[in-house]
Structure 1
Amino acid sequence: VVGPDGMRYLRGEIIVGFQAGSSMKELKALLQRVGGTVLEVINPPGLYRIKIKGGMRVEEALEEAQLSLGVDKAEPNRVFSNHKMPAVSLSENPIGVNLNLEAGERAIAVFDSGIDPAYQDLPFMLKAYNAIDPGAAVDDPTGHGTLVALIASGAIVPEGMPANTAGVKVLPVCLFDENGYTSSHALFSALNYALDQGIREFNWSFGTDQPVHFFEAAIEAAVERGARIYIASGNNGEAGSVYPASSPLTFSIGSGDHQGVSPWSNYGDDVDAYYPGLVYFDGKRYIGTSFSTPYALYLNELLD
């Protein structure tokens, strides 16, 4: 569904957070008001994904939730796309990929479009996770996630950067469906899954123009568990990072080198660092902050 303000969200669902000290009584009262059922409890940060009764608009359910005792905040189950990410052509025998990396014990979770099956059995790739359909096989319709995962591992480095024999393990997370969409609850669930696997380093390549309250809550909960989240600043060539790269709880990474900030990169006081964002993969050229970010995380993993 597309709202009047252009916001996309799932039909028939809301996400609700309750005030500290609230009980099941308040939850049951809310469910009665919206004719709802709990689809999922996302903990941390302690959110309820609720299916509302048929015929009720999401906007109506949100109004009812805000009037309900004990409710702290209610939001639609937001929908986000990866349509601005560049598509990457893949082949089974790519040129310029270092497949002989010696990966350490620590790992990076890459939240992106997935990973192509031809690359899933590389020794530095952990078993991929499907956040859209947990337990289902993972593919990569756009190729973007595969390239980002290879950069995060150290198997590919940006143009002009030295190759390295040391690698980093990568957990590829397919966050988008075959049409390029994901939702708030998919992101929250994926974050908790990766944290439960012991991952503490995260690479996100997507963002939105406006802050999302429950994103911030989920990020804060993850940071409290030791997470470090690196996010591409954006490719609009303008001041200010996209959200959640603009959050003070994350690391915003722009594109740049010794000659300065790349013309496509978002820049400004909320960008924490700039790394090269031009890569050649299988004979083709790709640019973007989403390629700077995994390289930044890879280098930081080697230095830790």
Structure 2
Amino acid sequence: MSQVKPQASPRTGRYLVLLGQDDLKASIRHLSSLAQITIRQRSSTSADALDDACALVFDQIGVAFIRCTDQERSRIAAAAGGNTILAVEPERTVYAIAHASHQKRVVKPLKRAAPDSPTDTATWGIRAVGAEASKQTGKGIRIAILDTGLDLTHPDFAGRAIESRSFVSGQPVQDGNGHGTHCAGIAAGPAKPKGQPRYGVAGEAELYIGKVLGNEGSGGDGSILEGIDWAISQGCAVVSMSLGSPVQPGEGYSAVYEGVARRALAAGTLIVAAAGNESQRPEFIAPVGHPANCPSIAAIGALAEDLSVAPFSDGGLEGNGGEIDLAAPGVDVLSSWPAPELHHTLSGTSMATPFVAGVAALYAQADSNARAERLLKRLEDGAQKLQAPARDVGAGLVRAPGAA
């Protein structure tokens, strides 16, 4: 079986700097002296609107996002590896993963029709993960969905207390794409949506919507990291990221994202991310994409209704973090969609990821000590073993607590 060689993700010309957190102020001063730049706090501007010759610092995760000259970048890179400047990387462009190269194959509008039978009260995905059988609802647990936003007027979310923030300059949280609304619905849509089978896992979880991708479905690493910083500051137990960019076979993971993910775990926040849709099975399998290939981020693969691996789902071809951790429903998945359609069926590892986030919220509600690494272990221990190799499904199909 051959491997696909995906195109490299475009760079934006801006840079990410992982700062030492033992003395963050000293790290910031060192960065400022190296690059002769003005330091701004996250609250004063957004990452994608960053001016030249300045840096935006995300305090929770200890990352600076900068524009600088090549000479300044060289000075910063030369200082990397010490106690103040730990890593320097170019910013990549990232994408809503269901809108990747296989869009025509994996995105399908929902045909408006009644459920197949009177007993079909939930989608196949909800049944597969056992959400209906669980006593937990996600109540009191905060889930961050970092994506294209949410249709804040959607009737399925009426009356819900939803916190939201846009990290995309000039665009409100309101979802002009649909991808974010779909993912939010899978993770935490209502248990009894009007006129539709149940499609949401944790219907009483508290939603934190971070718009980190523009309405066209793309954005930069800076906005993603800004969203993670915000989610940690809000006390979110899980961050769901159905986004990323392809990597070359043999390419390593981002040291900046890995540092951020470790700091998130230390703060009690688990990050789950879509593995990517670049495979064309059985001809070839693409490696898990960025940033899901980081060791401390849970990479999620996609399954079809018969629990076979979805043909587009990327696989764990690389060690040291490039493995799949868990799998979840990712083919023909019904969820919410912006008006006027209100509901759509999509396919992708983007859909599998919020299933895991929703189930994580159920485990977090069931056990107040299940956070960060412990939460991931609960997910893995409770997963249903599958016939597919671990490189494609990790620990197996994610299953809700209490599911038979």
TM bucket (normalised to shorter chain) is 0.7 to 0.9
1:216 is displaced (CA, Å) by 1.5
1:229 match: secondary structure: strand
- The CA deviation string for residues 256-277 of structure 1, in whole angstroms up to 9 with x for no partner, is 2554222222234721222222
Q: Distance in 2 between matches of 1:77 and 1:193?
A: 19
Is 2:200 aligned against 1:140? no
Is 2:265 aligned against 1:223? yes
Q: Distance in 2 between matches of 1:284 and 1:33?
A: 46
1:43 is displaced (CA, Å) by 2.0
Is 2:244 aligned against 1:207? yes
Q: Distance in 1 between matches of 2:165 and 2:139?
A: 20
Q: Kindly indicate whether the alpha-carbon contact (under 8 Å) linking 1:38 and 1:51 is maintained by their aligned counterparts in 2.
A: yes
What is residue 15 of structure 1 aligned with on the other side?
Answer: 16
Partner of residue 308 from structure 2, selected from 247, 260, 264: 260
- The CA deviation string for residues 142-162 of structure 1, in whole angstroms up to 9 with x for no partner, is 1011011011004389x9988
Partner of residue 227 from structure 2, selected from 187, 190, 197: 190
1:232 is displaced (CA, Å) by 1.4
1:132 is displaced (CA, Å) by 1.9
The one-letter amino acid of 1:76's match is P
- The CA deviation string for residues 14-65 of structure 1, in whole angstroms up to 9 with x for no partner, is 333456675666334313499x84331222332333333xxx4xx4432232
1:167 is displaced (CA, Å) by 3.5
1:109 is displaced (CA, Å) by 0.6
1:264-275 map, 5 Å: 264-268=312-316, 270-275=323-328
What is residue 27 of structure 1 aligned with on the other side?
Answer: 31
Change (3 A) 1:259 1:244: same
Q: Kindly indicate whether the alpha-carbon contact (under 8 Å) linking 2:35 and 2:75 is maintained by their aligned counterparts in 1.
A: no
- The CA deviation string for residues 165-224 of structure 1, in whole angstroms up to 9 with x for no partner, is 953232121111234332222122211111111112111101223432211221111111
2:232 match: secondary structure: helix
What is residue 245 of structure 1 aligned with on the other side?
Answer: 292
Q: RMSD value over aligned CA atoms?
A: 3.9
Is 2:75 aligned against 1:64? yes
What is residue 105 of structure 1 aligned with on the other side?
Answer: 140
Q: Report the more deviating stretch, 119-128 or 224-233.
A: 119-128
Q: Distance in 2 between matches of 1:143 and 1:222?
A: 27
Hey, which of these two has a bigger chunk of strand by percent?
1
Q: Kindly indicate whether the alpha-carbon contact (under 8 Å) linking 1:153 and 1:298 is maintained by their aligned counterparts in 2.
A: yes
Q: Distance in 1 between matches of 2:27 and 2:202?
A: 54
Is 2:208 aligned against 1:171? yes
Q: Tell me the number of residue pairs that the alignment of Structure 1 and Structure 2 aligns.
A: 287
Is 2:137 aligned against 1:77? no
Q: Distance in 1 between matches of 2:27 and 2:201?
A: 54
Q: Report the more deviating stretch, 81-90 or 257-266.
A: 81-90
Is 2:274 aligned against 1:232? yes
Partner of residue 164 from structure 2, selected from 109, 123, 128: 128
Change (3 A) 1:298 1:179: closer
Q: TM-score, normalised by structure 2?
A: 0.60
Partner of residue 333 from structure 2, selected from 279, 282, 285: 279
Change (3 A) 1:29 1:127: closer
Q: Distance in 2 between matches of 1:162 and 1:29?
A: 52
Q: Distance in 2 between matches of 1:268 and 1:160?
A: 33
The one-letter amino acid of 1:50's match is I
1:68 is displaced (CA, Å) by 4.8
What is residue 153 of structure 2 aligned with on the other side?
Answer: 118
2:162 match: secondary structure: coil
Q: Distance in 2 between matches of 1:205 and 1:234?
A: 9
Q: TM-score, normalised by structure 1?
A: 0.77
Structure having greater relative contact order (Cα 8 Å, sep ≥ 6) = 2
Q: Kindly indicate whether the alpha-carbon contact (under 8 Å) linking 2:35 and 2:73 is maintained by their aligned counterparts in 1.
A: no
Q: Kindly indicate whether the alpha-carbon contact (under 8 Å) linking 1:113 and 1:142 is maintained by their aligned counterparts in 2.
A: yes
Instruction: Give 5+ residue unaligned stretches, structure 2.
Output: 1-6, 39-51, 116-120, 123-135, 248-252, 280-284, 318-322, 336-341, 367-404
Q: Distance in 2 between matches of 1:44 and 1:283?
A: 36
The one-letter amino acid of 2:310's match is S
Change (3 A) 1:29 1:79: same
The one-letter amino acid of 2:94's match is F
Q: Kindly indicate whether the alpha-carbon contact (under 8 Å) linking 1:88 and 1:142 is maintained by their aligned counterparts in 2.
A: no
Change (3 A) 1:273 1:37: same
Identity percentage of aligned residues: 22
Q: Distance in 1 between matches of 2:293 and 2:354?
A: 17
Q: Distance in 1 between matches of 2:292 and 2:311?
A: 18
Change (3 A) 1:274 1:259: same
2:311 match: secondary structure: coil
Q: Distance in 1 between matches of 2:349 and 2:296?
A: 19
1:246 is displaced (CA, Å) by 2.1
